Chains A and B, each alone.
Chain A
Amino acid sequence: MMSDRWKELLARNEALVALVIVLFCIVATLSDPNFFTVTTLSDLLRASIVLGILAIGCMLVLISGGIDVSFTAVAVSAMYMTTKLSLAVWPDMPWPLIFALSIGFGALLGAINGTFIAIFGLPTLIVTLGTLSVFRGFLLTFVGSDRISALPPDMREFSRMMIARGTTESGDFYALPWSLAALLGVILLTAFILHKTMLGRSIFALGGSVESARRLGIDVRRTQFFVYVYVGALAGLAGILHGSMGRMADPFSLVGLELSVIAAVVLGGARLIGGYGTITGTLLGVALIVLVQNSLIVIGIPSTWQSVTIGALILLGTGLPAYQAKRAAARAG
């Protein structure tokens, strides 16, 4: 028999996901000593930036008791519109302005989601499903459908700016771009909002019980509206980072990633019923998804099995706690 404390710890998704990551790394290092190097780590980190920012936004929505499938369309729309605008109006636009513009576009699109959800009170899945189509359709119809590789110079410049780059003594190359700082900033800001402001606590309260929140005098509409605007802004940031790191504004990219992002967030312990979710868990979920997407081959699984692996991880990671809860409920009668 396991002791209760172990059971409790293992019942938490964070611990489970962390354990799987550690196991993954051990197996990977055993089969390929080159796996556990600074190079791999910096590669994986870079691959986590866009996914990580999107996941944190998605987590916020889940905590508030909703779900958002439109954020990838928001991200790609904000990125592409910003690029087009910048190229048309001021190609030499400095990157801070480009970023601000994309975040602004993202927030605007998020506000559209917020309007339908907070003001009209429509179900979140249906609304975001609709806006996913609308945003993407609008983008490809009216803004453009060409891949642009001649980005504004400052956008390309940004992707070359490094916090640190070099070669370790053992000859491993590494590079940490400034976009990593964006992820860190998002983590800190979101953590602050969630844990240090009444707004953040209201988001948790909303996810716990909308009715109670309303009775307590929490402005439910305003809180919901904020959530979708904030998620939109984060998506705008993720979009422009994606464009600048990939050195291409591709209006067909990102969309289709939404289920992977939701998978990462759910693996990290956020619950669909709302009220639960941690940044640590979400980041661990992202790390696991990125590992599977990039390094599956290292532990001897062909990369064509990527989808199966992620799917199985979701089913195990969420099925185990669900099964335990079901058993506990049956015991209680």
Chain B
Amino acid sequence: MSGSGSRTEMTLSQAPEFRLAIIAVLVFALMAVLSPDRFLSAQNLTSMAFQFPEFAILALAMTITMTTGGIDLSVVGVANLSAVIAAAILTSLAGPEATGIVAVMWLAVALVASLAVGAAAGFFNGILVTRLGLPPILATLGSGLVFTGFAVAMTGGSAVMGFPDIVSVIGNSTIWFVPVPLILFAVLAIALHILLTRTGFGLRVTMYGANPLAALYAAIDIDRILLRVYVIAGMFSAVAGMVIMSRANSAKADYGSSYLLLAVLIAVLGGVNPYGGYGRVIGVVLAVLSMQFLSSGLNMLQVSNFARELIWGALLLLVMVINTTNWAGLRAGRKPAKTG
């Protein structure tokens, strides 16, 4: 029902995704003009494609929880916990010398284990939100600490390394010149888009986010929907954990700690309504691209790493201010004024 979104009554140019597309193109063009030989080089383009998927996948996890009006602050914790467990399997059971079919088999076991950990962690979050009635922000703040804590306790806080070579395939190889992490991100993004727009589940997710009480009265199985949302977020986080592990060739409890805020930032920048009820994957993808063009272009221009953080934050605030009128409308929409 993609053609029936609540914003289709607006013209294309008013859609937040359209604005984002313009921003993405402008940023790309600007960087290409400022540093044509290096920004447009094949090497830079590939390196960008290797860099962003890990946090972009986390942003997808954030997107689906935010669409319900919730949030998942445990994504990085889940990613690291699942990576640490996968790493334990890869180092202690497979070992760095493993090759060929044995290595592939252990990698498969490790991947399944990490996905299972992600799903279990998400299920735990879902239970906290549905059965205990905790606000998602608190539930996942607490559970995020618990997941990270388990990873710390298992590793004593140090990095786990010594994987079979095959592990680097996930994060560092290409298929027909396309980096594997990018393929993973693309597959997950398309899957999430289809899930949100073409399935009953996805529509229920959005509707619940728009008005939880009305969802209850419409006999939507809210608990099951929310459980599945957090399980999906957990599994996406686990995939991100695998990419991080493979690229770093190790797993550690505190990898990617800056990714949490980045994931929230990208989701909001991508037009996802943090109060729930609206979120489109295309917007999130455009937000990710804008951020990556911007940060790697700035790298080319010898701008320090820290300036990226500054610019990301400024971009978020700018987009929010531009959208202010929209927000006011959305918020008013949730609390309709009483008219006599």
Chain B nearest CB from A183 CB (Å) reads 25
A180 proximal to B (CB < 8 A): no
- Please report the number of residue pairs spanning A and B whose Cβ atoms sit closer than 8 angstroms: 159
Contact B134 A319 (CB under 8 A): yes
A23 proximal to B (CB < 8 A): no
B133 proximal to A (CB < 8 A): yes
The residue that B133 contacts in the complex, of A67, A126, A325, with Cβ under 8 A, is A325
A304 proximal to B (CB < 8 A): yes
Interface of B is mostly: helix
User: Nearest B residue to A330 by beta-carbon distance?
Assistant: B133
Question: Across the interface, which residues of B come within 8 angstroms of A266, CB to CB?
Answer: 138, 141
Once A126-B274, A326-B132 are accepted as A-B contacts, the answer to whether A120 and B321 lie under 8 Å apart by CB is yes
Once A140-B306, A272-B138 are accepted as A-B contacts, the answer to whether A311 and B149 lie under 8 Å apart by CB is yes
The residue that B134 contacts in the complex, of A123, A256, A322, with Cβ under 8 A, is A322
A188 proximal to B (CB < 8 A): no
Interface of A is mostly: helix
Contact B142 A312 (CB under 8 A): yes
Contact B145 A311 (CB under 8 A): yes
Interface size on B, residues (CB 8 A): 49
Question: Across the interface, which residues of B come within 8 angstroms of A134, CB to CB?
Answer: 309-310, 313-314, 317
Contact B321 A122 (CB under 8 A): yes
Once A123-B327, A307-B148 are accepted as A-B contacts, the answer to whether A318 and B313 lie under 8 Å apart by CB is no
The residue that B321 contacts in the complex, of A116, A129, A308, with Cβ under 8 A, is A116
Once A127-B317, A256-B257 are accepted as A-B contacts, the answer to whether A302 and B153 lie under 8 Å apart by CB is yes
Question: Across the interface, which residues of B come within 8 angstroms of A127, CB to CB?
Answer: 317, 320
Chain A nearest CB from B257 CB (Å) reads 7
Q: List 17 A-B contacts (CB under 8 A).
A: A67-B137, A123-B275, A129-B316, A132-B261, A133-B261, A135-B313, A136-B306, A137-B309, A137-B311, A259-B73, A263-B141, A304-B157, A305-B149, A308-B149, A311-B143, A312-B142, A315-B146
Lowest 9 CB-CB distances: which A-B pairs, in order?
A137-B310, A133-B313, A307-B149, A311-B145, A308-B149, A140-B306, A137-B309, A311-B146, A314-B142
Interface residues of B (CB under 8 A from A): 73, 128, 131-135, 137-139, 141-150, 152-153, 156-157, 257, 261, 264-265, 268, 274-275, 303-304, 306-314, 316-317, 320-321, 324, 327-328
Interface residues of A (CB under 8 A from B): 67, 69, 116, 120-123, 125-127, 129-141, 145, 256, 259, 262-263, 266, 272-273, 302, 304-315, 318-319, 322-323, 325-326
